[in-house]
């Protein structure tokens, strides 16, 4: 799992690299041994070969949440609501996603991670959900129910619906190549994505399973699915 750059961290005193404790704890509870890797992409160049060398030990990969992607990676214009943009972080995440998908490494993409994969596969994002008439607001600090698509892997595991915890102001506008929406919110936000034709196990979720894994067994099960696929 790539760590996230942070300008401040009280225990470190200065700039830091970190991972969400809730996510790391959730992965550990699911049976994984979580490891953070340093996001290294000089001059913000996407170097898949370098990532392949560094992550050859990994049985499975998580692309976690974080700040917004730079508009550099798509045909969309920059938006004033973008925050915590770091192009080196972007380039590293995009290289990880490319490596995992190409090699069939099990990949769980969470929130920003799903947006990274969408961008890599030439999809587009709603750059600010509050400006989209059919949505009209962001999904920050939101817990709500989503509907799962019949026949999907999500539905076969969890049934017709899930209660989730979200924190995002962007969402998928157009799916990337090979992506299939398998869960939606009441306001038609894409909440989960699968890739039936991918080489390996893949799940992208717009929500944060780490927020509630310790109280909701369904969210722990999302993390366990990655762990089980990685053991396979």
40 belongs to the catalytic site: no
Q: Judging by beta carbons within 10 Å of its beta carbon (0-12, 13-18, 19+), is residue 136 exposed, middle or buried?
A: exposed
Q: Which of 87, 111, 181, 218 is catalytic?
A: 111
For 212, the token pair is 């509630």
Q: Which of 134, 210, 218, 225 is catalytic?
A: 210
210 belongs to the catalytic site: yes
Strands 142-148 and 161-166: antiparallel
Q: Which of 126, 139, 169, 208 is catalytic?
A: 208
Where are any strands of DSSP class E within the chain? 4-6, 16-18, 61-63, 107-110, 124-126, 142-148, 161-166, 171-174, 180-185, 190-194, 202-205
74 contacts 169 by C-beta, under 8 angstroms: no
96 contacts 216 by C-beta, under 8 angstroms: no
**Strands ordered across the beta sheet of 107-110:** 61-63, 107-110, 202-205, 190-194, 180-185, 142-148, 161-166
63 contacts 96 by C-beta, under 8 angstroms: yes
Q: Which residues are catalytic?
A: 111, 208, 210
């Amino acid at each position: 799992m790539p760590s996230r750059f942070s300008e401040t961290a009280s225990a470190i005193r200065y700039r830091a690299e970190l991972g969400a404790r809730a996510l790391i704890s959730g992965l550990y509870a699911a049976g994984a041994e979580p490891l953070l890797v340093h996001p290294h992409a000089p001059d913000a160049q996407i170097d898949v070969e370098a990532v392949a060398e560094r992550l050859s030990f990994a049985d499975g990969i998580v692309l976690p949440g974080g700040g917004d992607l730079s508009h550099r990676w798509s045909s969309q214009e920059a938006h004033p609501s973008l925050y915590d943009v770091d192009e080196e972080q972007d380039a590293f995440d995009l290289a990880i996603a490319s490596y995992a998908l190409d090699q069939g490494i099990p990949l769980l993409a969470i929130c920003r991670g799903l947006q990274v994969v969408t961008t890599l596969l030439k999809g587009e994002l709603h750059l600010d959900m509050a400006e989209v008439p059919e949505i009209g607001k962001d999904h920050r600090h939101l817990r709500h129910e989503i509907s799962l698509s019949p026949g999907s892997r999500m539905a076969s595991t969890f049934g017709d619906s899930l209660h989730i915890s979200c924190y995002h102001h962007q969402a998928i506008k157009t799916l990337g190549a090979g992506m299939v929406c398998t869960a939606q919110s009441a306001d038609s936000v894409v909440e989960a994505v699968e890739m039936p034709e991918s080489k390996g196990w893949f799940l992208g979720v717009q929500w944060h399973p780490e927020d509630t894994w310790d109280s909701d067994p369904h969210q722990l099960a999302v993390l366990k699915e990655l762990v089980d696929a990685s053991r396979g």
